Amino acid sequence: MSETRPGWRLRKPDGSYKTGWLIREGKRYYLDAAGGSMKTGWVLLEGKWYFLSPDGMLVTNGYTVFSLVDFSSRLYA
């Protein structure tokens, strides 16, 4: 598994793939429900927008090209 390659997946001991939020080495990633692939860019989850950097890490307290993201990952357009 490469944490810098978009689309990586994490296989669980039972052979299935982890889905949902993953915290690894203090970094937060989102693995999609349709197969566990790591997501990047803007993702809408349960009515909230999150920005995941090109390496998949959740961006907090930062800027994207046209938006501000606060410490809770909320989008301010």
**What pLDDT was estimated at residue 31?**
93
Rounded CA-CA distance 36/9 in Å is 6
Task: Summarize pLDDT for 16-74 with one digit per residue, the tens.
Answer: 889 999 998 888 999 998 889 999 988 888 888 888 888 888 887 665 544 555 555 55
Q: What is the pTM of this model?
A: 0.71
| Helix extents (H) in 25-74 | none
